[in-house]
């Protein structure tokens, strides 16, 4: 959870300014390596903006995922399940990414 919150603080400006280029990708990928975890960032419609282990264009909408719903309702969500894209069991953690006005801009 701490890692997810720290990452959200690092990337909020990129998302708020719709600056999803190389710098944004580099920050997300560097964090994935540091914490040895797969990271997916989704927008408020559930579209995957970036995924560190799969092509985001090939991934389905994530808005109905249990951890995402829980994060939107409670500020934090988690779930344990099989990844359809990687066919492995994972612990999924979701935290809202908020801007300076405390508005959720992504998850």
Interatomic CA distance for residues 65 and 72, integer angstroms: 11
Q: What's the confidence (pLDDT) of residue 7?
A: 83
Query: DSSP H helical segments within 1-107, as ranges?
Result: 2-16, 22-35, 66-74
Computed from CA positions of residues 49, 87, 5, 61, in that sequence, does the dihedral angle turn out positive or negative?
positive
For the cut 80, the answer to whether the pLDDT of residue 80 exceeds it is yes
pLDDT digits (tens, 9 = 90+) for 24-76: 999 999 999 999 999 999 999 999 999 999 999 999 999 999 999 999 999 99
- β 97-98/89-94 pair status: unpaired
pTM score of the predicted model: 0.88
Query: Is there a contact between 96 and 8 (Cβ–Cβ < 8 Å)?
Result: yes
Please state the length of the chain.
107
Q: How confident is the model at residue 4 (pLDDT cuts 50, 70, 90)?
A: confident
What is the C-alpha R_g of the chain? 13
41: how many CB neighbours lie within 10 A of its CB?
23
Interatomic CA distance for residues 35 and 28, integer angstroms: 11
């Amino acid at each position: 959870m701490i890692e997810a919150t720290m990452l959200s603080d690092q990337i909020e400006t990129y998302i708020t300014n719709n600056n999803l280029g190389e710098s944004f990708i580099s920050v997300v990928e560097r964090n994935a390596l540091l914490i040895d975890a797969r990271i997916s960032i989704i927008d408020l419609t559930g579209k995957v903006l970036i995924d560190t282990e799969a092509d985001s264009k090939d991934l389905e909408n994530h808005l109905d995922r249990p951890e995402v719903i829980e994060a939107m309702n409670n500020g934090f969500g988690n779930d344990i399940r099989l990844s359809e894209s990687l066919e492995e069991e994972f612990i999924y953690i979701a935290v809202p990414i908020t801007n300076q006005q405390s508005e959720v801009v992504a998850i």
